[in-house]
Structure formats: structure tokens, C-alpha cells
Amino acid sequence: MHLKGVSPPTMTSTNTGQTRPALIVHGGAWQIPEEMHPDSIRGCRVSARIGWDILKTGGSALDAVEAAVRNLEDDPTFDAGRGSVLNAAGEVELDAIIMDGKTLNLGAVIAVKHVSNPITLARLVMTESDHNILVSEGAEAFALNHDISLCPNWDLIVERERERWRSKDADEDSSADLFPQHPGGTVGAVALDAEGHLATATSTGGTFNKHPGRVGDSPLVGSGAYADDRAGAVSATGEGEALMKVVISKLVCDSLKQMTAQEAAETAIALLSERTGGQGGLIALDNNGDVGIAHCTPYLAYAYVTSDGEISADIEV
């Protein structure tokens, strides 16, 4: 196992009594091909800037994570929204979750195929329905009823992914390196706003060539994401089948009572590796704004805002 963590900044309270906002985004943890590194870093940086612009002007953590993830969904670099991997039927099938640390309210959508920004639909499920999770056609009917227009599935497909899907049977050995079964290029964001409230958002196209209807960790509360103002906020990425076995995002939040955000992130990734043999990564903020980032995948694309307001973005190797 190679457990990796970065050395993020500690973010403190301001002397005005308000919390200093904090934000981290990720663009997935997988075998990101080298030619995609610049776009992955750039996409994370732009999303962090979008989220930060909301937080620094007094906006809510929920608004910040939704806006940051929408941008990552719109960016075809990532496995979320347009540009996602295709399932075994040659279609994009999307999952997303958003969670409010103040109320523990959450909204999630699963297996939607005609929605370009599933994170916004997930937020509407949270705020405009009596439910937490809606799936496939039911979620899309709900979207239409709430003025979210549906798009053809082919609008979400980019040529890179069409070609990956077409060549999947031609050369299984070489495509396994280039196009791993678990690319894990899920996206996510966690934020702490000036009112001291936390939020998280995670969005994904899931795994390449997945069985239609397969659900990974991302839209499952506690696995793909968790936020609680009393502890922290987490967004996970990687092999969904493994991540959900250890309910990794809730695990990190629970650990924050005993350890720092960075220690909690590393401890959870170590447990994931030890108990499941699976690979993944995560970003975390505790309710002081302290950052945790860890992964046991080859890479993790991420960006966070430093205490002086600068954006630091990288692909951790």
C-alpha cells in the first residue's frame, strides 16, 4: 500500500468572531494519464476559485460546493456530467449527492441519464421534496417538474469516452492500463462558510463499462460524502465497491472527535486499503477549517484555498 497525504494549511478563525471560510475540491483519484494532468489541475483550480468567490462574499457552503461541482460536471476532463465514462450499454449514467452540515439534510440522485448537472438536481431533491434520494426516471420526472430541462444522453458523451468504449473489446490488456476498470475520476467539494456551516457535494459517472443500474459509493450518504457541523465534511473518490464497505466519509467525520483532519483522512484510507484492498482518496475539512487530504491511488487531483486566499492546485503523485 502506498498511503499518501499532502501538507495542507491550517485555517483559523478570524478575530472578528466569524469563521474563516475554507474550501477544497477534487477531480478524482485514478490513473490520470499524463496528458490530462494540466487539464485536471486547471479544472480543479477554476472550480476552487468559483467556490471561493461565493464564500469570500459571505455566501453559503452549500452554494459554494454546488457551484464548484457544477463547474467540474461541465468540464469534460472529469468523470462527472459531460465527459463521464460510458456504461456497458454505451450510455452515460450519473450519480450525485449534496449534504448540509447544519441540518444533516441531504439530496441524492442515482442513474440519471439526461441531466447535465446532477448536483443541482440533488440539491432540489434535498430542498424541494420530502425524500432524500430519487433514482433514474423518477429523478428525471422530478427534474422536469422543477424546471430543469433534460438533454439527450449523447449530449453528455465526448469523443474520448466514445472511443474508449468502442475499443474496450479490441485490446483488453492495453486498455486495462489506459482505461482502468475503476478510473475513479469522480469530482467533489467540501466547504466551511463564514457562519461556521459545512457542506459537501460529490458527483460521478461511476466506473467505465459498469453494468447499467450499478451504483457506487458517490450518491450514498456516509460513503461518497458526509457533512455535519459538529464534526466535518468529506467527499470521497475511487473504487465505489470498496469505499462503501467502510462507509468512508462518515468514518472520517466520526474520527474527527479524536484526531486532526489530516490524521482522520490518512487513517480512513489506511483502513480502506487494509480491509478491502480497494483504492480511493478523499478530501476533508473539520469544523475549524483544518484540511485533510489522503489517497492510496496513483494520483489525486485537488485544489484548496490557502489562508491568504490563494488557490493551490496539484495532482499528488
Q: Please, which residue, 55 or 242, has the CB nearer to ligand GLY?
A: 242
Q: Please report whether residue 216 would count as binding ligand GLY according to CB under 6 A.
A: yes
- Tell the smallest beta-carbon distance from residue 66 to ligand GLY (Å): 19
Query: From the CB of 282, what's the least distance to ligand GLY, in Å?
Result: 11
Q: Which is nearer to ligand GLY, 217 or 228 (CB)?
A: 217
Q: Which stretch binds ligand GLY (CB under 6 A): 52-60, 108-116, 156-164, 212-220?
A: 212-220
C-alpha R_g of the chain: 18
Question: Using the rule CB under 6 A, is 297 a contact of ligand GLY?
Answer: no
Q: Does 218 bind ligand GLY (CB under 6 A)?
A: yes
Return the residue of 60, 186, 209, 249 that touches ligand GLY, per CB under 6 A. Answer: 186
Q: In whole angstroms, what separates CA 47 from the centre of its chain?
A: 12
- Taking CB under 6 A as the criterion, the residue among 19, 203, 204, 288 binding ligand GLY is 204
Residue 47 in the binding site for ligand GLY (CB under 6 A): no
55, 61 Cβ separation under 8 angstroms = yes
Contact 252, 231 (CB under 8 A): no
Nearer to ligand GLY, 21 or 281 (CB): 281
- 186 noted as active-site residue: yes
Mark the segment that binds ligand GLY (CB under 6 A) among 42-50, 51-59, 155-163, 215-223: 215-223
Q: What is the DSSP string of 13-70?
A: --TTSSPPPEEEEE---S---GGGHHHHHHHHHHHHHHHHHHHHTT--HHHHHHHHHH
Q: Rounded to 5 degrees, what are φ and ψ at 271?
A: -65, -40
Candidates 66, 93, 217, 290; binder of ligand GLY (CB under 6 A) is 217
How far is Cα 277 from Cα 273, in angstroms, rounded to an integer?
5
Query: Contacting ligand GLY (CB under 6 A), which of 206, 222, 289, 292?
Result: 206
Given 120, 186, 207, 237, which residue is catalytic? 186
Comparison of 59 and 184: residue with beta carbon closer to ligand GLY: 184
> Min. distance of Cβ 239 from ligand GLY in angstroms?
6
Q: Which of 154, 167, 179 is nearest to 82 (CA)?
A: 154
Q: Which amino acid is at 240?
A: G
Size of the site for ligand GLY (CB under 6 A): 12
Q: Is 207 in the site for ligand GLY (CB under 6 A)?
A: yes
Instruction: Tell me the window of 104-112, 119-127, 163-171, 231-239 that interacts with ligand GLY (CB under 6 A).
Output: 231-239
DSSP per position, 92-159 = --EEEEEEETTT--EEEEEEESS-S-HHHHHHHHHHHSS-SEEEHHHHHHHHHHTTPPP--GGGG--H
Is residue 208 within 8 A of residue 183, CB to CB? The reply is yes
Stretch near ligand GLY under the rule CB under 6 A, chosen from 5-13, 112-120, 157-165, 236-244 = 236-244
Please answer whether residues 43 and 21 qualify as being in contact, where contact means their C-beta atoms are separated by less than 8 angstroms.
no
Instruction: Tell me whether residue 168 is exposed, middle or buried, using C-beta atoms within 10 angstroms of its C-beta: 0 to 12, 13 to 18, 19 or more.
Output: middle
Minimum distance from residue 195 beta carbon to ligand GLY (Å): 30
C-beta separation of 180 from 61 below 8 A: no
Torsion of CA 248, 250, 256, 258, to 10 degrees: -80
CB of 65 to ligand GLY, least distance (A): 17
Could you list the residues that contact ligand GLY (CB under 6 A)? 184, 186, 204, 206-207, 216-218, 237-240
Catalytic residues: 186
